[in-house]
Amino acid sequence: MRRALHAEWTKLRTIPGTGRLLLAVIVLTAAVSAAAAATVSCRPVGCDHDVPKLSLMGVQVGQAAVAILAVLAISGEYGGGMIRTTLAAMPRRSHVLAAKAAILTGLTTAAGTVAVLVSVLGGRLILPGNGFTPAHGHPPLSLADGPTLRAAAGSVLYLALIALLSLGVATAVRDSAAAIGVVFGLLYVLSVLPFMISDPDWQRFLWRLSPMNAGLAIQSTTNLSALPLAPWAGLGVLAAWAAAALLGGGLALRLRDA
């Protein structure tokens, strides 16, 4: 595994787009979060916004860069034929996928941590100017607050799970464009389906099934009883999606020719 980890680290860090995509995760997440915080007002008498979730809104956009990075981590090798060299050097294909997953998770977690911290800091600086003050029931954002810390840490875990989900899909699909389309469909298309159906039971079922809706429940800090899933249970749904994708991708990698 040490050789496999070193090889995958070397390949991923030398891909031209890796640095730009990791930077995009940070910039997109922080910028969209700051824009969301700047456009919401709590004047004149107060409001009931979920402030930590509002400050982390950019995760919904930053995850796109994470998905693209994860897809390119393996589909690029298929596109250029390098996968044959990789598997000749490391015949144990499960080790190859595990090493890719480990390196990708580490990079995504690092970039996601920076993005989330900047987003929380942006919310702490911007929101008081829009009326989110202790007088209106909204103390300054702080990671010392348990629900806020859970929302922030959960958002980092969410991005890491999105990377694993995307890696599994790309391993099974192989083609970059097709894999990105499948991942974006799972994330964005499936997330809006509950709002296109009038039946409340089906709405609740589809909301629970959606990896994005369920996973982002981890950001909620208010009105938790109204959620179709508890925050950690929602993140568990996303983890199940990621595990299923990696299992399917791993089986495809073992059973098909390179």
Residues 216-234: tens digit of each pLDDT = 999 999 989 889 999 999 9
Q: What is the mean pLDDT of the chain?
A: 90
Q: What's the pTM value of the predicted model, to 2 decimals? A: 0.93
Quick: pLDDT tens for 77-101.
777 667 777 777 777 878 888 999 9
d(CA 76, CA 71): 8
Tokens at 1, concatenated: 């595994």
Burial class (CB in 10 A: 0-12, 13-18, 19+), 185: exposed
Burial (CB count within 10 angstroms: exposed 0-12, middle 13-18, buried 19+), residue 236: middle
